[in-house]
Amino acid sequence: MPSVNQIIKEAGVAKGTVYLYFESKEEIYLSLLSKYFIEFEENITKLMDKASKDNFQQALIDAYIFFVNKAPKGVYLACIAPLILESNLSDEFVIRFKTGIRDLTFRILEKIASIAEESDLNELRIKFLLSYNLFLGTWQHCHPPKNVLRVLENEGLDSILYDFEKEFSRGHRAIWNN
Protein backbone atom coordinates (compact mmCIF):
# COMPACT_ATOMS: atom_id res chain seq x y z
CA MET A 1 0.00 0.00 0.00
CA PRO A 2 1.40 3.41 -0.82
CA SER A 3 2.20 5.83 1.94
CA VAL A 4 0.39 9.13 2.30
CA ASN A 5 3.53 10.88 1.04
CA GLN A 6 3.51 8.72 -2.11
CA ILE A 7 -0.16 9.53 -2.69
CA ILE A 8 0.51 13.24 -2.21
CA LYS A 9 3.46 13.13 -4.60
CA GLU A 10 1.42 11.27 -7.24
CA ALA A 11 -1.50 13.69 -6.82
CA GLY A 12 0.80 16.70 -7.00
CA VAL A 13 -0.75 18.47 -4.03
CA ALA A 14 0.52 19.73 -0.71
CA LYS A 15 0.17 17.50 2.35
CA GLY A 16 -1.94 20.16 4.07
CA THR A 17 -4.35 20.13 1.13
CA VAL A 18 -4.89 16.37 1.45
CA TYR A 19 -5.69 16.70 5.13
CA LEU A 20 -8.34 19.33 4.38
CA TYR A 21 -10.33 16.47 2.86
CA PHE A 22 -9.12 13.43 4.81
CA GLU A 23 -8.31 12.92 8.47
CA SER A 24 -6.20 9.79 7.93
CA LYS A 25 -4.65 7.55 5.33
CA GLU A 26 -7.41 5.04 6.08
CA GLU A 27 -9.95 7.61 4.88
CA ILE A 28 -7.90 8.07 1.71
CA TYR A 29 -7.81 4.32 1.06
CA LEU A 30 -11.52 3.87 1.72
CA SER A 31 -12.29 6.79 -0.59
CA LEU A 32 -10.24 5.02 -3.27
CA LEU A 33 -12.12 1.81 -2.52
CA SER A 34 -15.40 3.67 -3.01
CA LYS A 35 -14.21 4.67 -6.50
CA TYR A 36 -13.34 1.03 -7.26
CA PHE A 37 -16.79 -0.03 -6.08
CA ILE A 38 -18.42 2.50 -8.41
CA GLU A 39 -16.47 1.00 -11.32
CA PHE A 40 -17.55 -2.47 -10.14
CA GLU A 41 -21.19 -1.35 -10.11
CA GLU A 42 -20.87 0.17 -13.60
CA ASN A 43 -19.47 -3.08 -14.93
CA ILE A 44 -22.17 -5.20 -13.28
CA THR A 45 -24.79 -2.87 -14.75
CA LYS A 46 -23.34 -3.26 -18.26
CA LEU A 47 -23.20 -7.03 -17.92
CA MET A 48 -26.70 -7.22 -16.42
CA ASP A 49 -28.07 -5.13 -19.29
CA LYS A 50 -27.05 -8.01 -21.58
CA ALA A 51 -28.08 -10.80 -19.20
CA SER A 52 -31.20 -12.90 -18.98
CA LYS A 53 -32.79 -14.91 -16.20
CA ASP A 54 -30.87 -17.94 -17.45
CA ASN A 55 -27.39 -16.38 -17.43
CA PHE A 56 -27.36 -13.55 -14.90
CA GLN A 57 -25.27 -15.67 -12.50
CA GLN A 58 -22.53 -15.94 -15.11
CA ALA A 59 -22.75 -12.18 -15.65
CA LEU A 60 -22.17 -11.66 -11.91
CA ILE A 61 -19.20 -14.05 -11.96
CA ASP A 62 -17.82 -12.21 -14.99
CA ALA A 63 -18.16 -8.90 -13.14
CA TYR A 64 -16.13 -10.21 -10.20
CA ILE A 65 -13.46 -11.66 -12.49
CA PHE A 66 -13.29 -8.38 -14.41
CA PHE A 67 -12.86 -6.53 -11.10
CA VAL A 68 -9.92 -8.77 -10.20
CA ASN A 69 -8.26 -8.23 -13.56
CA LYS A 70 -8.95 -4.51 -13.87
CA ALA A 71 -8.51 -3.40 -10.27
CA PRO A 72 -6.49 -5.87 -8.16
CA LYS A 73 -5.57 -3.01 -5.80
CA GLY A 74 -9.26 -2.39 -5.30
CA VAL A 75 -9.77 -6.05 -4.38
CA TYR A 76 -6.87 -5.81 -1.94
CA LEU A 77 -8.39 -2.71 -0.34
CA ALA A 78 -11.74 -4.47 -0.09
CA CYS A 79 -10.05 -7.39 1.70
CA ILE A 80 -8.38 -5.21 4.31
CA ALA A 81 -11.18 -2.67 4.74
CA PRO A 82 -13.24 -4.36 7.48
CA LEU A 83 -10.42 -5.44 9.77
CA ILE A 84 -7.78 -2.80 9.19
CA LEU A 85 -8.97 0.33 7.41
CA GLU A 86 -12.30 0.75 9.19
CA SER A 87 -10.93 0.35 12.71
CA ASN A 88 -9.81 3.95 13.40
CA LEU A 89 -12.33 6.13 11.62
CA SER A 90 -14.68 8.80 12.83
CA ASP A 91 -18.30 7.79 13.16
CA GLU A 92 -19.21 10.32 10.46
CA PHE A 93 -16.80 8.80 7.96
CA VAL A 94 -17.99 5.26 8.75
CA ILE A 95 -21.60 6.34 8.21
CA ARG A 96 -20.78 8.01 4.85
CA PHE A 97 -18.71 5.05 3.66
CA LYS A 98 -21.19 2.37 4.75
CA THR A 99 -24.17 4.35 3.41
CA GLY A 100 -22.48 4.54 0.03
CA ILE A 101 -21.81 0.79 0.07
CA ARG A 102 -25.41 0.05 1.10
CA ASP A 103 -26.83 2.27 -1.63
CA LEU A 104 -24.56 0.76 -4.27
CA THR A 105 -25.52 -2.75 -3.12
CA PHE A 106 -29.22 -2.02 -3.37
CA ARG A 107 -28.86 -0.51 -6.86
CA ILE A 108 -27.13 -3.72 -7.94
CA LEU A 109 -29.79 -5.83 -6.22
CA GLU A 110 -32.60 -3.99 -7.98
CA LYS A 111 -30.91 -4.68 -11.30
CA ILE A 112 -30.47 -8.37 -10.44
CA ALA A 113 -34.07 -8.62 -9.18
CA SER A 114 -35.45 -7.29 -12.44
CA ILE A 115 -33.47 -9.82 -14.47
CA ALA A 116 -33.84 -12.81 -12.13
CA GLU A 117 -37.55 -12.02 -11.75
CA GLU A 118 -37.10 -12.23 -7.99
CA SER A 119 -39.19 -10.10 -5.65
CA ASP A 120 -37.52 -11.12 -2.40
CA LEU A 121 -34.80 -8.46 -2.14
CA ASN A 122 -33.77 -9.75 1.27
CA GLU A 123 -32.96 -13.19 -0.15
CA LEU A 124 -31.06 -11.58 -3.04
CA ARG A 125 -29.19 -9.37 -0.58
CA ILE A 126 -28.05 -12.37 1.44
CA LYS A 127 -26.93 -14.25 -1.69
CA PHE A 128 -25.12 -11.20 -3.06
CA LEU A 129 -23.30 -10.54 0.22
CA LEU A 130 -22.37 -14.21 0.59
CA SER A 131 -21.00 -14.16 -2.97
CA TYR A 132 -19.06 -11.01 -2.23
CA ASN A 133 -17.53 -12.52 0.90
CA LEU A 134 -16.72 -15.73 -0.99
CA PHE A 135 -15.08 -13.58 -3.65
CA LEU A 136 -12.88 -11.74 -1.16
CA GLY A 137 -11.93 -14.83 0.80
CA THR A 138 -11.19 -16.90 -2.29
CA TRP A 139 -9.15 -14.11 -3.88
CA GLN A 140 -7.21 -13.49 -0.70
CA HIS A 141 -6.43 -17.19 -0.25
CA CYS A 142 -5.28 -17.57 -3.87
CA HIS A 143 -3.18 -14.39 -3.88
CA PRO A 144 -0.86 -14.53 -0.88
CA PRO A 145 1.88 -11.92 -0.56
CA LYS A 146 4.87 -12.58 -2.84
CA ASN A 147 7.13 -13.63 0.03
CA VAL A 148 4.53 -16.13 1.28
CA LEU A 149 3.99 -17.50 -2.23
CA ARG A 150 7.74 -17.92 -2.61
CA VAL A 151 7.94 -19.87 0.66
CA LEU A 152 4.96 -22.04 -0.32
CA GLU A 153 6.53 -22.85 -3.68
CA ASN A 154 10.01 -23.50 -2.23
CA GLU A 155 8.64 -25.80 0.46
CA GLY A 156 6.18 -27.66 -1.77
CA LEU A 157 3.24 -26.17 0.08
CA ASP A 158 1.65 -24.46 -2.91
CA SER A 159 -0.79 -27.38 -3.16
CA ILE A 160 -2.94 -25.53 -0.61
CA LEU A 161 -3.67 -22.95 -3.31
CA TYR A 162 -6.30 -23.53 -5.99
CA ASP A 163 -7.60 -21.95 -9.19
CA PHE A 164 -9.34 -18.75 -8.11
CA GLU A 165 -11.69 -18.34 -11.08
CA LYS A 166 -12.76 -21.98 -11.15
CA GLU A 167 -13.44 -22.30 -7.43
CA PHE A 168 -15.02 -18.88 -7.02
CA SER A 169 -17.36 -19.65 -9.92
CA ARG A 170 -18.28 -23.01 -8.41
CA GLY A 171 -18.92 -21.48 -4.97
CA HIS A 172 -20.88 -18.59 -6.44
CA ARG A 173 -23.20 -20.98 -8.30
CA ALA A 174 -23.70 -23.04 -5.14
CA ILE A 175 -24.82 -19.92 -3.26
CA TRP A 176 -27.17 -18.72 -5.99
CA ASN A 177 -28.68 -22.12 -6.78
CA ASN A 178 -30.00 -22.66 -3.25
Q: Identify the CATH number of the domain in which residue 64 sits.
A: 1.10.357.10
In a domain, 10, yes or no: no
Residue 11 lies in a domain: no
Query: Has residue 18 been placed in a domain?
Result: no
pLDDT tens digits along 19-54: 778 888 899 889 989 999 999 999 999 999 999 999
| pLDDT for the residue numbered 23 | 84
Considering the domain boundaries, does residue 165 fall inside one? yes
Residue 81: is its pLDDT beyond 90?
Answer: yes
In a domain, 103, yes or no: yes
Q: What is the pLDDT of residue 74?
A: 93
The residue range of the domain holding 72 is 23-176
127 by Cβ neighbours in 10 Å (0-12 / 13-18 / 19+) ranks as buried
Tell me how far apart the 2 most distant CA atoms of the chain are, in Å: 52
Tell whether 139 is covered by a domain.
Answer: yes
Percent of the chain past pLDDT 70, that is, above it, reads 96
**Coil, strand, or helix at residue 58?**
helix
Phi-psi map region of 145: left, alpha, beta (phi>0 left; psi -120 to 50 alpha): beta
Does residue 166 fall inside a structural domain? yes
- CA dihedral 99→104→105→108, nearest 10 degrees, is 160
Give the total number of structural domains in the chain.
1
| pLDDT tens for each residue of 82-118 | 989 999 899 999 999 999 999 999 999 999 999 998 8
The predicted model scores a pTM of: 0.87
Indicate whether 56 belongs to any domain.
yes
Q: Is 156 left (phi over 0), alpha (psi -120 to 50) or beta?
A: left
